[in-house]
Amino acid sequence: MRITKNYLGVGFEVWNNQQSWFWYVDNTNRNGMIGAAASESDAIAEAHSSIEEISNSSAEAGWECSLGKLARYLASVCGVAGVGS
């Protein structure tokens, strides 16, 4: 069974198969990240770490970051493609 969670505004999933736990973080700037861990708590911690790494590496300056987040939020709430285009 997959468990969907959210951390720092980024969704991720954890699930187990046999004796391993897996995690997946959807990264819209890339193809996403996936990993394996020994336990559910380890998988969640590794997913959190990846999300923090993504957040730190893709930080944009000031208003650009805020406006980009606002545009994504409005598009998701209103179902409108190309907000701000």
Domain ranges across the chain: 3-78
> Which uninterrupted H or E stretch holds 10?
strand 10-17
Residue 38 DSSP SS3: coil
**Dist. CA 71–CA 31, nearest whole Å:** 21
What was the pLDDT predicted at 75? Answer: 76
Q: CB-side exposure of 57: number of CA atoms within 13 Å?
A: 9
Task: Report how far residue 8's alpha carbon sits from residue 50's, in angstroms, rounded to the nearest whole number.
Answer: 11
For the chain, which residues score pLDDT lower than 50? 61, 83-85
Per-residue confidence (pLDDT) for residue 85, from 0 to 100? 46
* pLDDT of amino acid 58: 56
> What order do you get walking across the sheet with 33-37 strand by strand?
3-7, 10-17, 20-25, 33-37
